[in-house]
Amino acid sequence: MAAWSVDHMAATNSEYGIPSQGLYDWNVEPNKNKTQFASPEEAAVIVKKAALFLGASLVGITDYDERWVYSDFYNPMTDESIPADFPFKPKSVVVIAIEMDFDAYRTGPSMIAGAATGLGYSKMAETTNKVATFIRQLGYAAAPCGNDTALSVPLAIMAGLGECGRNSILITKEFGPRVRLCKVFTELQMKADKPITFGVKEFCRSCKICAESCPSEAIPMDDDPTTEGHNISNCNGIEKWYTDAEKCFQTWADNTVDCCNCITSCPYNKPASWHHDLTRNVANTPLASVLSKLDTAFGFGKTYDEKVIKNWWKK
Amino acid sequence: MAIMWFFLGALACGSVWFVISWAGKQKNKPSIAVWVGIVLTILVGLFTIAWSWSSLLHEETQSASMGLIVFGGITILLFIITSALNKRSRSEISGDSNKEFQSQ
């Protein structure tokens, strides 16, 4: 509850995808004095630096692409569908990744890991509000968003924050899948970053550790990605490994706590250290299939570890 | 972590000094294969210590143990191969010297 408090008090139910409320309010007028930048590159540099200063762990910029924007905004609390309608014409999207605590996620699946998730949501609301305020003070309209409005994972991939993994979520170089994503749509035109690749797709082809650790078997064990999802909760057409989101969410409901096994067990989920950076680089070679076996042998990615949960409080 | 790198730096310097003084005392220079073996043994040995130490600092005890087994094992293997190569090249050289002596 403590970790979720900012999200609950100032961005209520944002995790369910309700747009433009609380800290995510879109209806704030920008400064009448518009700052003129020398170029979109300059604008991008300044906004990205501000975002990192204001709390983003990672930041990237991509052009507005309506393929990733929801056709309707659905409010699950009122069971209403609202047509997607920005109050301005968005040109760029500032995509932000918020790191979640590594030690807390090692306890997963647990309430401690759930608290790390909640802390992520609270930081999402706070950081996007600050970044949107910064852009508005520059004289440009901005719409801060959490889970709502658009698909965060493809936006993050386009913004160069990482690649899509077998568990259908973003895998970053720095933190693996252990991030929460949020974004700010703006009418300020900025130079877009390019997507990156560092061997995740090839690694995930042989790894399958997340699929093996998934308690609901929602993550596919197929070697190759596909363009067909499981059900209405998937957006078909993109070549990727599709998670059965309904099975996944059912497990959360059954366990009364968020599951994070796929994040905890992922070999890319490591703390910052030279030896993990080295193995991440080796993962981008033909040794990838050996590395995933060694990751387990070396004791990484354990879930349901009671000792880790007890020790967390003493650390 | 800074102490680890300091210690490894000192160990690397000490190893190089030891190898150079050992090579200087040999009647015949070690072959290129032996030199390669010595360098690889030292590098993998240092890597073993660095990996295990870093793992322990991050409370990754199983990784530290496996590092000692896997990388330490490779270090020992390289040491054995290098020693065997060195013995072989020395016995080849002393065999050639005996033949020369006998022919005289």
For chain A, 315 residues long, the average pLDDT of each consecutive 10-residue run is 82 78 90 95 97 97 94 79 84 97 90 92 95 97 93 96 95 96 97 95 91 93 91 88 92 87 94 90 81 88 86 84
Measured CA to CA, the distance from residue A176 to residue A171 in angstroms comes to 5
In the three-class reduction of DSSP (H, G, I as helix; E, B as strand; rest coil), residue A226 is classed as strand
Residue A26 at interface with chain B, using a CB cutoff of 8 Å: no
Residue A163 is inside which H or E element, if any? strand A163-164
Indicate the pLDDT class of residue B96, thresholds 50, 70 and 90. Answer: low
The answer to whether A218 and A250 are in contact (CB under 8 A) is no
Q: What is the model's pLDDT at position B95?
A: 65
Domain ranges of chain A: 5-186, 200-312
Q: What is the model's pLDDT at position B14?
A: 93
Task: Kindly list the residues from chain A whose CB atom is less than 8 angstroms away from the CB atom of residue B62.
Answer: 298-299
Torsions phi, psi for A181 (to 5 deg): -115, 140
Give the N- to C-terminal CA distance of chain B in Å, as an integer.
Answer: 62
Q: Which amino acid is at A43?
A: A
Query: Dihedral, CA atoms, B55, B56, B62, B68, nearest 10 degrees?
Result: 80
Assess whether the previous peptide bond of A154 is cis (omega < 30° from 0). Answer: no
Indicate the pLDDT class of residue B99, thresholds 50, 70 and 90. Answer: low
Q: What is the model's pLDDT at position A171?
A: 97
In the three-class reduction of DSSP (H, G, I as helix; E, B as strand; rest coil), residue A73 is classed as strand
Measured CA to CA, the distance from residue B62 to residue A301 in angstroms comes to 12
Residue B45 at interface with chain A, using a CB cutoff of 8 Å: no
Measured CA to CA, the distance from residue B28 to residue A176 in angstroms comes to 53
CB-based contact B58 A271, cutoff 8 Å:
yes
Measured CA to CA, the distance from residue A75 to residue A98 in angstroms comes to 25
Q: What is the model's pLDDT at position A221?
A: 93
Q: What is the model's pLDDT at position A192?
A: 97
CB-based contact A299 B58, cutoff 8 Å:
no
pLDDT at B100 over 60: no
Output the pTM of the full model: 0.87
Token pair for residue A65? Answer: 């692409």
Taking the CA atoms of A115, A117, A123 and A126 in sequence, report the sign of the dihedral they define.
negative
The answer to whether A260 and A103 are in contact (CB under 8 A) is no
* Nearest in space to B68 (alpha carbons), one of B79, B56, B80: B56
Q: A286, exposed or middle or buried, with CB in 10 Å at 0-12, 13-18, 19+?
A: exposed
Q: What is the model's pLDDT at position A71?
A: 85
* Nearest in space to A175 (alpha carbons), one of A120, A127, A130, A126: A120
* CA distances in angstroms from B66 to A208, A306, B42, listed in the order given: 22, 22, 19
Half-sphere exposure of B90 (CA within 13 A, CB side): 13
Summarised one tens digit per residue, pLDDT across range B28-67 is 788 888 999 999 999 999 999 999 999 999 889 999 999 9
ipTM: 0.77
What's chain B's average pLDDT?
A: 87
Token pair for residue B58? Answer: 């991050």
Indicate the pLDDT class of residue B93, thresholds 50, 70 and 90. Answer: low
Q: Which residue of chain A is at minimal alpha-carbon distance from B66?
A: A298
Residue A307 at interface with chain B, using a CB cutoff of 8 Å: no
In the three-class reduction of DSSP (H, G, I as helix; E, B as strand; rest coil), residue A203 is classed as helix
* CA distances in angstroms from A169 to A173, A240, A268, listed in the order given: 13, 10, 12
Task: Kindly list the residues from chain B whose CB atom is less than 8 angstroms away from the CB atom of residue A299.
Answer: 60-63, 66
Q: What is the model's pLDDT at position A288?
A: 79
Task: Provide the 8-state DSSP code for A194.
Answer: P
